[in-house]
């Protein structure tokens, strides 16, 4: 099929983009990479009156450092982010997760912000933003606001973003040097959305976990923060951590579902196992068995 007719606008500034979105009265859709949007347009599952292409806005691209945080422009290509030295140094968890997003071909066009803003519950980038404590900066003609990633997602493909608003930055706070990265997912094929996945980071100080940020993807209608597991880990000496017990707490916070790919019980069972395995491998904890 072909898309329904629409007007095309390519603004060169955030202010111009916000003005177009405001004037469209909810009838505009933003495009950056288009790896999800283009199929939806062709299937006419999305029929905007105006397509707002933000690729001409330079300030929405690239990675920068400011105030103890790393800022990622929403129009930054996933392939570029994978090669970025700043992200490799400060956000290794994001780079690890990003390598599992889509395929080589789609990452050349897809953007970090597009994945974060879409709100696919089985995708890596939303969960990574939640796990690492990211803040999403948003602009409109009414002004700007910042939303914590864990408060940004309301349901599958549902976020707090209003029709006249534009994501302008994703800000990831620093984690201590040498922090431990947690990542594992199970998918039917490489590049598919995960059936079950987890991502996170642990900061260690003197053989003790001093900070933890962990989130699930594919385990609920939104990225799911593993709050009970985080609480159980913080303050624990590595030698005292029971990986299986922490994994059970992590799964207890999830709300998996049945679909034609896997059952909720499968997701719980596999989730618990990959969590425990990943924690043991990351912290070099020997299994009690």
Fold of 60-173: 3.30.465
Q: Would you kindly state where each structural domain of the chain is located, as residue ranges?
A: 7-56, 60-173, 180-288
| Rounded average pLDDT over 93-116 | 96
Mean pLDDT of the chain: 95
Taking the CB of residue 66, how many other CB atoms lie within 10 A of it? 9
User: Which residue reads 């913080």 in tokens?
Assistant: 234
What class is the 180-288 domain?
A: alpha beta
User: Which residue reads 């948003």 in tokens?
Assistant: 138
- Give the pLDDT score at 284: 84
| Rounded average pLDDT over 147-156 | 97
pLDDT tens digit string along 32-52? 999 999 999 999 999 999 999
- Give the pLDDT score at 285: 54
pLDDT tens digit string along 229-275? 999 999 999 999 999 999 999 999 999 999 999 999 999 999 999 99
| Rounded average pLDDT over 205-225 | 97
How far apart (Å, rounded) are the C-alpha atoms in residues 167 and 246?
Answer: 35
Contacts of 247 (CB under 8 A, 6+ apart): 229, 271, 272, 273, 275, 276, 279
| Rounded average pLDDT over 10-37 | 96
pLDDT tens digit string along 159-168? 999 999 999 9
**Phi and psi of 98, rounded to 5°?**
-65, -30
Which pTM was predicted?
0.95
pLDDT bracket for residue 286 (50, 70, 90)? very low
- Give the pLDDT score at 288: 37
Instruction: Domain 7-56: give its CATH code.
Output: 3.30.43.10
User: Which residue reads 């924690």 in tokens?
Assistant: 279
């Amino acid at each position: 099929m072909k898309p329904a007719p629409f007007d095309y606008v390519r603004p060169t500034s955030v202010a111009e983009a916000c003005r177009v979105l405001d004037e469209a009265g909810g009838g505009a859709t933003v495009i950056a990479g288009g790896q999800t949007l283009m199929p939806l347009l062709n299937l006419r599952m999305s029929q905007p009156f105006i397509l707002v292409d933000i690729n001409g806005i330079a300030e929405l691209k690239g990675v920068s450092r400011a105030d103890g945080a790393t800022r990622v422009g929403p129009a930054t290509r996933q392939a570029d982010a994978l090669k970025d030295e700043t992200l490799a140094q400060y956000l290794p968890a994001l780079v690890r997760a990003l390598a599992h997003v889509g395929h080589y071909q789609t990452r050349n066009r897809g953007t970090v912000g597009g994945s974060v803003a879409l709100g696919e519950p089985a995708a890596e980038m939303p969960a990574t933003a939640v796990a690492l404590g990211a803040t999403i900066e948003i602009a409109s003609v009414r002004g700007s606001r910042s939303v914590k990633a864990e408060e940004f997602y309301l349901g599958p493909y549902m976020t707090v973003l209003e029709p006249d608003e534009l994501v302008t930055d994703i800000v990831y706070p620093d984690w201590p040097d040498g922090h431990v990265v947690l990542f594992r997912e199970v998918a039917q094929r490489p590049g598919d959305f995960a059936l079950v996945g987890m991502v996170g980071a642990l900061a260690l100080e003197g053989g003790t976990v001093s900070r933890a940020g962990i989130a699930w993807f594919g385990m609920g209608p939104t990225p799911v923060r593993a709050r009970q597991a985080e609480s159980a880990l913080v303050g624990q000496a590595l030698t005292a951590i029971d990986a299986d017990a922490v994994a059970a707490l992590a799964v207890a916070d999830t709300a998996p579902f049945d679909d034609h790919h896997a059952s909720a019980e499968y997701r719980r069972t596999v989730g618990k196992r990959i969590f425990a395995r990943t924690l043991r491998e990351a912290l070099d904890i020997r299994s009690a068995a």
